[in-house]
Chain A
């Protein structure tokens, strides 16, 4: 049973990719919608398995670590698997109706979508440094492909820039992996951690290299320049996938590495630098979001800011008490989940708004409040979570981070949390202000079908309601970031 569920997570998305590669967009849509249903069921199945059986390791191909590749199935991985199933299904569902199926290149959307899903699951589950690299590469390439599909000049420019930056990040990560392999002779993260604890080998350089590379890929300030053009120019469902899931993959690996190896190899300076850069991202990203003229650029710069919060994980988990560290980990996990849901909702809603007024400018939204209240409402609900108002998931996340920063005596992060919330309120209200302007000479609005409006609403409600189910979710997290059993 375990084998089948694992295969369901890792191999069936690949099978959907191979099948949809041979189909047109319209036929691929039906296959994909069926596939999404299957993937959601499998993800829930794995969740129930972990609840029932606890965390476990699973060797692929009958070979255990260090010779083969081992999967680590723990609470955190399951949360990400479920999150992926939710956001990807929403974006795929939306994309099936939203994308123009008459364009010949659109048939490449589904295979890329499925490759992306397969690679995301692989990153969440893998416990092997090189396998993580391969998963990350597949994610990057599918993401670049999804941004570039259609090959319009600006999309191509953004995609190419994204590709080059991401490759530099990958190279730094790979170099770090090579150093680790040279030192220990193994690639399994669990075995490396054990050996490191036994032998006390200095690993600061490889860890810094890997974290640096991953930070570039997660668009940490000041390496965020590639993100807004790529996320802004992509079709809205693709932007939702990018901001919601793709950027999280590289952060997830960084967090795993830090929590496994950081106690020995991390330094206070490295942690503080990452925290400061994250804070700078929060302030600078929000400020730029406030000044953008295009709707999707506002949302994209907001992603830069929201990702900044995640990097507070590093200072808040190094040389602090167990309880504070756990609080910070829970806070960051919640922030990832609520941002993925809220940003997915925001991009999909933004897509509907743009479809309706036929322009991507913020000012063009004037008067849309009367015609498309539903999509605008989803946008606002998602904004509530970004601002961190109760009862949203964003509120719970920031509350936990706030407590962790005060309890660890690092009060300066609390200021960042407050400033970030205020700034995000400003840029969300700016969109509202523009859309409620009444004296618009534009009288014709295109009305997207109801089902298109429904998807972002569901995501936004999930982001909002997340605050109410924090407790059961954190129980699933149990011992977050795998402080669990050794293989």
Chain B
């Protein structure tokens, strides 16, 4: 009875959200907004250093949001790792040896790495960028893990943590450096914008890939678990 009621409530909430979402989309599509922000973005695009408006918004106009979002990924990965069951996240027992998977891997992994590189580069003037490239990179990692490739960098040592925090740290250092150059924080100096944005995107790709992969392999519960600890 109670379970039935809970299911009903969850369903009702989901239906309500979906309905509201539909109303929202309908509402937005029907009446034009009072202020046309896309037009303003287009106007300032030449100052942003990249040609893709999405990248411009993410890494220039609203770069503080992006910095915090990267923080979210780092936090998620850290929380996941903090609960990992095994001392190494790359547990040999979990490896499979499947001929088909192995063959697929040899074809796919290089291709996926190339796609990730392309997406990263494409981000500067058309859809693409660090998040997409990082996701592809992580998918390649998942495939490699399933196919029993040893991945020693996934040991929860300093190397893993360094990889997780690299993108975030570089982003933050750029923010600091741009302030030293006399501008505001996260205000890229003239002429350097493109270089800096591409650098940030590149390290972000690595870190995002690493975060997603770490979340995939991190186990749920600690072995130390059940001791009696009243606090």
Contact with A along B204-231 (1 / 0, CB 8 A): 0000000000000000111011100111
> Of residues 105 to 127 in A, which have CB atoms within 8 Å of B's CB atoms?
105, 108, 111-112, 115, 118-119, 122
- A199–B224 touching, CB < 8 Å: no
B46 close to A (CB within 8 Å): no
- A66–B162 touching, CB < 8 Å: no
- B20–A61 touching, CB < 8 Å: no
A4 to B183, CA, bound (A): 11
Taking the closest CB of chain A, its distance from the CB of B124, in whole angstroms, is: 18
- A152–B40 touching, CB < 8 Å: no
- B13–A168 touching, CB < 8 Å: yes
- The interface-forming segment of B95-103, B110-118, B131-139, B172-180 is B172-180
- The interface-forming segment of A82-90, A130-138, A268-276, A335-343 is A130-138
Among candidates A4, A112, A135, A351, residue contacting B68 with C-beta atoms closer than 8 Å: A135
- The interface-forming segment of B27-35, B143-151, B194-202 is B27-35
**Known contacts A138-B75, A185-B36; is A68 also within 8 Å of B176 by CB?**
no
How many residue pairs between the two chains, A and B, have CB atoms under 8 Å in the bound complex? 194
A184 to B31, CA, bound (A): 10
- A18–B165 touching, CB < 8 Å: yes
B3 close to A (CB within 8 Å): no
Taking the closest CB of chain B, its distance from the CB of A190, in whole angstroms, is: 13
- A61–B35 touching, CB < 8 Å: no
A7 close to B (CB within 8 Å): yes
**Known contacts A7-B179, A118-B71, A209-B20; is A195 also within 8 Å of B186 by CB?**
no
Most buried by B among A10, A115, A150, A151: A151
A3 to B184, CA, bound (A): 6
Contact with A along B67-97 (1 / 0, CB 8 A): 1110110111011011100000000000000
Taking the closest CB of chain A, its distance from the CB of B6, in whole angstroms, is: 12
- B221–A6 touching, CB < 8 Å: no
A35 to B175, CA, bound (A): 19
Most buried by A among B13, B20, B78, B183: B78
- A151–B75 touching, CB < 8 Å: no
Most buried by A among B33, B36, B82, B161: B82
CB contacts (< 8 Å) of A67 on chain B: these are: 37, 40-41, 44, 61
Taking the closest CB of chain A, its distance from the CB of B83, in whole angstroms, is: 4
- B34–A108 touching, CB < 8 Å: no
Which residue in chain B gives the minimum CB-CB distance to A236?
Answer: B231
Among candidates A7, A11, A22, residue contacting B162 with C-beta atoms closer than 8 Å: A22
- B33–A183 touching, CB < 8 Å: yes
- B179–A61 touching, CB < 8 Å: no
Which residue in chain B gives the minimum CB-CB distance to A294?
Answer: B230
A3 to B179, CA, bound (A): 8
B169 close to A (CB within 8 Å): yes
> Of residues 13 to 69 in A, which have CB atoms within 8 Å of B's CB atoms?
14-15, 17-18, 21-22, 59-63, 66-69
A183 to B230, CA, bound (A): 51
Taking the closest CB of chain B, its distance from the CB of A389, in whole angstroms, is: 29
A178 close to B (CB within 8 Å): yes
- A61–B61 touching, CB < 8 Å: yes
- B34–A185 touching, CB < 8 Å: yes
CB contacts (< 8 Å) of B44 on chain A: these are: 67
A63 to B13, CA, bound (A): 39
A182 close to B (CB within 8 Å): yes
A358 close to B (CB within 8 Å): yes
Which residue in chain B gives the minimum CB-CB distance to A15?
Answer: B172
A66 to B39, CA, bound (A): 12
Among candidates B37, B60, B83, B183, residue contacting A148 with C-beta atoms closer than 8 Å: B83
- A61–B64 touching, CB < 8 Å: yes
**Known contacts A3-B179, A359-B230; is A181 also within 8 Å of B79 by CB?**
no
- B68–A119 touching, CB < 8 Å: yes
A191 close to B (CB within 8 Å): yes
- The interface-forming segment of A139-147, A404-412, A477-485 is A139-147
CB contacts (< 8 Å) of B187 on chain A: these are: 61-62
- A105–B62 touching, CB < 8 Å: no
Which residue in chain A gives the minimum CB-CB distance to B81?
Answer: A108
A156 to B35, CA, bound (A): 45
Taking the closest CB of chain B, its distance from the CB of A200, in whole angstroms, is: 12
Taking the closest CB of chain A, its distance from the CB of B203, in whole angstroms, is: 13
A6 to B33, CA, bound (A): 32
B15 close to A (CB within 8 Å): no
CB contacts (< 8 Å) of B78 on chain A: these are: 21, 108, 111-112, 145
CB contacts (< 8 Å) of B169 on chain A: these are: 18
CB contacts (< 8 Å) of A152 on chain B: these are: 222, 225-226, 229
CB contacts (< 8 Å) of B153 on chain A: these are: none
CB contacts (< 8 Å) of A257 on chain B: these are: none
A486 close to B (CB within 8 Å): no
A186 close to B (CB within 8 Å): yes
New contact pairs (4) apart from A63-B61, A66-B37, A118-B68, CB-CB < 8 Å: A6-B185, A153-B225, A175-B24, A191-B35
Show 11 A/B contacts (Cβ-Cβ < 8 Å), sorted by A: A7-B179, A7-B185, A22-B158, A66-B37, A108-B82, A112-B78, A134-B69, A148-B79, A150-B82, A186-B35, A354-B230
